[in-house]
Amino acid sequence: MALYGGKRDISLFRHVNRELIGNVISQQCIYYKYKLEETKVNLYGESAGSKYYYRGVILSCLITHEPQSYPDDEFGVQYYRNVDFKFLRDDLLQRNLDFNEDYDKGDYFGADLVPQVGDIIYYYGGYYEVDDIISNQYFVGKDQDYDYAENPINPGLKDFGRDFSVICKTHYTPVDKVQIEKGRING
């Protein structure tokens, strides 16, 4: 049996991370999930007309961003910025899932969402489209959902380890391409 990485260690790690991300660092964003079934597509698989999103969900996260750049091309000066949003995986799980055995039943975390490429994140007055999802940051080097087989030398390993974070790599997207709010109208 493994010494570290059991349910109590995972619960402690989750509580400390939630406290740091939610109450100490306190960076938040609004996550808009792409509504694929209502968005009409053309022959090339692109959205024809309007894009639709579910209502935004406010999430606590860690945010790291690169410096913005202003390259110019044949259309004029552009604005580029890449931002990484790092979420605690348990905050994205089903809202009623009992993944914390020592929390009261009335105290729920979870947003019922699975991040996917194409979703939109609103942060600091700008919209960012998700390009890539990284979900392989393991506590004690393994994920308990993939225990493969019972280990005869060290039994009980299936209850150890956890996948803790989801990292969304994004790029800045202009307001008129997102279509969540009306952009400036020249007139």
Name which residue leads in pLDDT, 9 or 154. Answer: 9
Tell me if 182 is assigned to some domain: no
- Cα separation, 99 vs 18, in Å, equals 13
At residue 147 the predicted structure's pLDDT band, cuts being 50, 70 and 90, is low
pLDDT in tens, 97-132: 554 444 454 455 566 788 999 999 999 999 999 999
31-86 pLDDT, tens per residue?
998 887 787 777 676 767 777 888 888 999 999 999 988 888 887 788 899 999 99
Q: What is the pLDDT of residue 151?
A: 67
- Name residue 42's amino acid: N
Q: What is the pLDDT of residue 100?
A: 42
Entry pTM: 0.79
Structural domains of the chain, count: 1
Classify strands 76-77 and 72-73 as parallel, antiparallel or unpaired. Answer: antiparallel
pLDDT of residue 170 exceeding 70, the answer is yes
Instruction: Please give the residue range of the domain that contains residue 131.
Output: 7-177
- Going by pLDDT thresholds of 50, 70 and 90, the confidence category of residue 154 is low
In a domain, 46, yes or no: yes
Would residue 119 count as lying in a domain? Answer: yes
Do the domain assignments include residue 186? no
pLDDT in tens, 9-33: 877 888 888 889 888 988 999 999 8
Residue 182 has pLDDT above 90, yes or no: no
Residue with token string 């008129």: 176
Let me know if residue 185 belongs to a domain. no
Examine the pLDDT at 143 and tell me if it is beyond 90: no
Mean pLDDT of 126-142: 87
